[in-house]
Structures are given as structure tokens and as C-alpha cells.
């Protein structure tokens, strides 16, 4: 399986519902390093998994739609806890919509810090 990974960042604010989240129930900020890995078993006619510039641009576009926003105010996220894991899937789904043709899978990893991160992989 071939893979190509691009990386970007996003800063958001949000809060969580539920006692399990302790002080994170209050509004707080997060800065995520976001990695998107694209996989395919066979390279395309140009010898690529996906063009790096196109992949980086697609990731930037997805992140820009929520960057510097309070996710509690985004209608699409109403009633949802926008956890690291949830956001991984949300980013992966949007990347699949933009770049999914010909790929076997997309994995998105959000690094919340140097000691904690989450990921989600979806097949296409």
C-alpha cells in the first residue's frame, strides 16, 4: 500500500457536555496539528498517490472552514461533542468528498499535544 501524508494546523474553541469531560465542559481552546494520509494500492498514471499540492490545498480548505471559530456556534455541530476523535472523522469525510476518487483509504490524525492524539481511518 502506498501512502502520502500532508500536515497543517488549526486553532478552534469548543466546550463539551458530560461529567466525563471535567473542566473541559467549559469553553476552551485547542490547537491541533492535523495530518492527512492518503493510501492506494496502485499508483495513478502519473506515479502518484495524490498530488501533494492538491492534497495540501484540500486539507487547508477543510480546516479553514472551522479555524478560529467556536465550534459550539457551528450549526453542523449542534448537540455534538467535538472531540478529537469526532473531528478526525469530520475532516476525513470532507477530504474523501474532495479527493476520494482512486484512493483506497484516508486517515486523519489530530495531535492535541506532543503526548496525546487521535486518528480515524476510512476506506473508500
Tell me the pLDDT of the chain (124 aa) as tens digits: 999 999 999 999 999 999 999 999 999 999 999 999 999 999 999 999 999 999 999 999 999 999 999 999 999 999 999 999 999 999 999 999 999 899 999 999 999 999 999 999 999 9
By C-alpha distance, which of 86, 63, 66 is closest to 17? 86
pLDDT of residue 49: 98
Cα distances (angstroms) measured from residue 118 to each of 48, 75, 112, 114: 27, 24, 8, 12
**C-alpha span between 68 and 12 (Å, rounded):** 5
pLDDT of residue 71: 98
pTM above 0.75, yes or no: yes
pLDDT of residue 11: 98
Amino acid at each position: 500500500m502506498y501512502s502520502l501524508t500532508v500536515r497543517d494546523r488549526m486553532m478552534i474553541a469548543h466546550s463539551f457536555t458530560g461529567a466525563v469531560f471535567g473542566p473541559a465542559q467549559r469553553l476552551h481552546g485547542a490547537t491541533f496539528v492535523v495530518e492527512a494520509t492518503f493510501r492506494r494500492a496502485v499508483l495513478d498514471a502519473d506515479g502518484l498517490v495524490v498530488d501533494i499540492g492538491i492534497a495540501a490545498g484540500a486539507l487547508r480548505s477543510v480546516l479553514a472552514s472551522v479555524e478560529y471559530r467556536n465550534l459550539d456556534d457551528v450549526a453542523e455541530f449542534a448537540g455534538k461533542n467535538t472531540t478529537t476523535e469526532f473531528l478526525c472523522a469530520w475532516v476525513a469525510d470532507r477530504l474523501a468528498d474532495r479527493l476520494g476518487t482512486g484512493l483506497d483509504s484516508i486517515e486523519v490524525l489530530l495531535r492535541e499535544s506532543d503526548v496525546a492524539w487521535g486518528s480515524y481511518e476510512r476506506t473508500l
